[in-house]
Amino acid sequence: MPFALAPLAFPSLLLATAALPDELPAPAETLRLEAPSTAADDAPRSLRLPRAGLELAGVLALGAVWYEAEIDFNGRDFDFERSWSSQWTKLVDGRGYRFDDNDRTTNIAHAFVGRTYNGIARTNHATMWQAVLFDLTASSN
């Protein structure tokens, strides 16, 4: 039992600290570890847009598969029919621009999906502003 050994540990700690000198000698030299810099590390990296696009397509495909697989859950959010003309009406006359009425867990999950889009862009060497544009494009699907 660890608690049974606690009374023995405290006196041992006192004896160990009593044996230390009042002042420890300062090291003669401070050790500094620095990674060698190479020209390849200093050069700016370019955005790997084809790879980022493929990764985004994979994430969006997984989302579409989940959306269709859970159509009973997601169907509660339909305010318009699933047709091209209904989508056109939703986007053109403005009836589709409103706050959604999704449940809380769905709205919280949107933040994590947005972070995934940003992570895809940043791991493919996008600058902050390139990642913002990438996120806006991915979120507008």
13-36 pLDDT tens trace: 555 666 666 676 676 777 777 877
> 128-139 vs 49-69: helix axis angle to the nearest 10?
30
Mean pLDDT comparison of 78-82, 96-100, 120-124, 136-140, highest-scoring range: 120-124
Quickly list DSSP for 33-59. Answer: --PPP-HHHHSPPPP-HHHHHHHHHHH
- pTM exceeds 0.75 for this model: no
Residue 141 has pLDDT above 70, yes or no: no
pLDDT at 17: 61
Buried b (16+ CB within 10 A) or exposed e, 9-44: eeeeeeeeeeeeeeeeeeeeeeeeeeeeeeeeeeee
- 43 pLDDT tier (thresholds 50, 70, 90): low
Where is pLDDT greater, at 136 or 100? Answer: 136
Average pLDDT, integer, range 47-69: 92
Distance of CA 49 to the CA centre of its chain: 19
- 57 pLDDT tier (thresholds 50, 70, 90): very high
**How much is the mean pLDDT over the chain?**
78
